[in-house]
Amino acid sequence: MSYFMPEAKPFHYCRGPNSALLIHGFTGSPGEMKPLGVHLAEKNISVKAPLLPGHGTEPGKMTKTTYRDWLDLIYKEIEFMLSNYERTTLIGLSMGGLLSLAGAIKYPVENVVSMAAPINLTYRFYSFVPLISRLNLYIPKGKWDSFVKERGAYNCIPTKSLSDLLNIRNFVKEGISSINCPVLIMQGKKDLMVSQKSPLFLNEHIKDSRLVMFSNSGHILTMDKEREKVLNNIEHFIFGKHISL
C-alpha cells in the first residue's frame, strides 16, 4: 500500500504484557501517535497504531469511508490486543479519543486515555455541518491544525466526512454511562478545534475519570510544547503511578 507520506504508516512494537492501542484522529495518521508509541515501547509496553480507512493516502478516499468502517477496524484491533496481551489500554487523540471511548463502551479494556476528544467543536462552520457534509468540499485547515506534515495528516477537511465524525460523537454520548474502566482525559487550553467544554463533559459523565489540562498546548498534545509531560502522564496512568495535574 502507498501512503500519503511515510509518517502515515502503521506501526507495532511487541514488548511486554501491558499493551496500548494508539488511535489517531480525523484526517490524521499513526504519525501523530509515534512519539507516544516510541516512549511507551521504551517502557516495555507493547504498542500498536493502525491506520483508519480513508486516511494516510489522499483526502478523496476518506469520503468513501464511514464511521462504521472506522469503528469496525478499531473493534478488530481491540480484539487482537485482548487476545495477545494481558492488559490493554486504549489511547486516542482527537477523533481517536472518541474511538477509544467507543471501544471501552463495548470491550472490557484496562483503561482509556482520551486526548482532545471532540464532544464539542470550535469550528466557525460547526453549526452548518448538517448542510456542508452533503457537499463534496475540501476546507483548508489553516491555523486550526498544526504539525500537519510531521504527523502525516491531510491539510484539508473533507466536508462529507464531518457527519461521520459527529456520528461517533453521538455514539459515545449515548453509551458513555456504560464505561466502567478508569479514563484519563487530556486537553490543551490552546486547542483551536475542540471546545474546552468537551473535557468537562467527559469528566462529568464518566464514573472513574480524571482530567488534566495543559496550559501551553494545542490540539496535537503528543507533539506540542508540553509533549514530554503528556507522554509521562500517560505512562504513569498505565502503571497506576501519580499523575501531574
Nearest to 118 by CA among 52, 16, 28, 239: 28
**pLDDT on residue 240:** 85
Q: In this model, does residue 98 exceed pLDDT 90?
A: yes
Length reported for the chain:
245
What is the structure's pLDDT at 128?
64
In-domain check, residue 55: yes
Q: What is the pLDDT of residue 72?
A: 98
In a domain, 245, yes or no: no
Average pLDDT for residues 160-171, to the nearest whole number?
A: 92
Question: Does 197 fall in a domain?
Answer: yes
Q: What are phi and psi of 88, to 5 degrees?
A: -130, 130
Rg (CA), the chain: 16
CB of 222 closer than 8 Å to CB of 93 = yes
Q: Is residue 244 part of a domain?
A: no
CB count in 10 Å sphere of residue 86: 11
Q: Is the pLDDT of residue 123 over 70?
A: no
Its pTM stands at 0.94
What Cα–Cα distance (Å) separates residue 101 from each residue in 30, 185, 190?
18, 10, 23
pLDDT of residue 7: 84
Decide: 61 and 136 in contact? Cβ < 8 Å.
no
Helix axes 162-175, 95-106, angle to 10 degrees: 40
Query: Is residue 24 classed as helix, strand or coil in its secondary structure?
Result: coil
H/E element, 185: strand 183-188
Confidence at 83, pLDDT banded by 50, 70, 90: very high
Give, to the nearest 10 degrees, the angle between helix 227-238 and helix 34-42.
Answer: 50
Q: What is the mean pLDDT of the segment spanning 216-224?
A: 95
Number of domains in the chain: 1
Q: What is the pLDDT of residue 137?
A: 83
Residue 1 in domain:
no
Residue 74 lies in a domain: yes
Range of the domain at 211: 6-238
3-state DSSP assignment of residue 121: strand
CB 193 within 8 A of CB 144: yes
Q: What is the CATH number of the domain that holds 186?
A: 3.40.50.1820
Q: Give the pairing type, strands 18-23 and 46-49.
A: parallel
